[in-house]
A = this chain, B = another copy of it.
Amino acid sequence: MSKPEYNLIYHAGIPGRAEFIRLYFEATSTPYIDSAREVGQECVAPYSRDGFEHCDKNPTPFAPPVLVHDDLVISQTPNILLYLSGRLGALDLGDGAASSKTATLNDPSTFHHHALLLTILDLNNEAHDTHHPVDVMLYYEDQKDAAVAKAKAFREGRVPKFFKWAEGNITKWDSGFLTKEASYADLALFQVVDGLLYAFPKLIARIKGDYPKVFALHERVKSSPKISAYLASDRHQAFNEYGVFRHYPELDEA
């Protein structure tokens, strides 16, 4: 019997929240099915209602991303990464920042990495909400005034607060980002910084110098052998104006 494959279910056409999971598969050289790419948007529908395959053994997901692995069907980005961290092999950035251990609930670093991840995903959600502050079902154009106000608060208050927090934690060899135990949190910080570079290029150009470790981490993950090969491959999708990170010049600085 062959080993069950990891099947990642997500919306087609955007990196979105699934990208945190793709990066983890790629950095650990784990084979996976990217159903958004291989099947298309119709891959999502079966998991958003009762009666999906294996629904007798799993709660119905609220929203993608969804991971299907054998009989297990689970949702929520941090939850999927937590599950994988108990199973995948070494996360290898090619320069010594690698981890070959699998996570357990007895290891403090599991909870350090999960806290870092959850905080980075909060920043990811706030970046999304800059263009959809009122209603996810409305077009951006129909909530643009609130978006402009929210983006200002995001640029002036939230991004500096998150970056300052990240910068401080990169100094910590034992339990922060990019420790001797590289983790999904390092990949997540890379992804959000990459998204901000796309969506808020003027803001980032101005503040980049204040957070040298954050941008060094971004560069280090980006240029690591496995991630750089992934980014250059046709498995990788560019940011666009349908995803979490959107480049609307009026939301960036003047």
A110-137 contact mask (Cβ, 8 Å, vs B): 1 or 0: 1110111011001001000100011111
Contact between chains at B119 and A134 (CB < 8 Å): no
Chain B residues within an 8 Å CB radius of A72: 108, 111
Considering only CB atoms, which chain B residue lies closest to A74 in the complex?
Answer: B111
The residues of B that contact A125 with a CB separation of less than 8 Å are 125
Contact assessment for B146 and A149 in the assembled complex, using a CB-CB cutoff below 8 Å: yes
Copies in the complex: 2
Which of A170-178, A196-204, A209-217 touches B?
A170-178
Tell me whether A62 and B165 are in contact (CB under 8 A): yes
| A62-B146 in contact (CB<8A) | no
Q: A105-B83, A105-B104, A105-B105 are in contact. Are A76 and B150 (CB under 8 A)?
A: no
- Bound complex: CA of A108 vs CA of B80, how far in Å? 12
**A233 contacts chain B at the CB level, 8 A cutoff:** no
A191 contacts across to B, CB distance below 8 A: none
A206 CB within 8 Å of chain B? no
Chain B proximity of A154: nearest CB distance (Å)? 9
Q: Can you show 16 pairs from A to B with CB atoms below 8 A apart?
A: A57-B175, A58-B112, A59-B169, A61-B115, A74-B112, A76-B119, A78-B118, A79-B118, A82-B82, A83-B105, A125-B125, A129-B129, A133-B133, A135-B149, A135-B157, A137-B153
5 other A-B residue contacts (CB within 8 Å) besides A60-B165, A86-B105, A135-B149: A72-B111, A82-B111, A102-B105, A133-B133, A133-B146
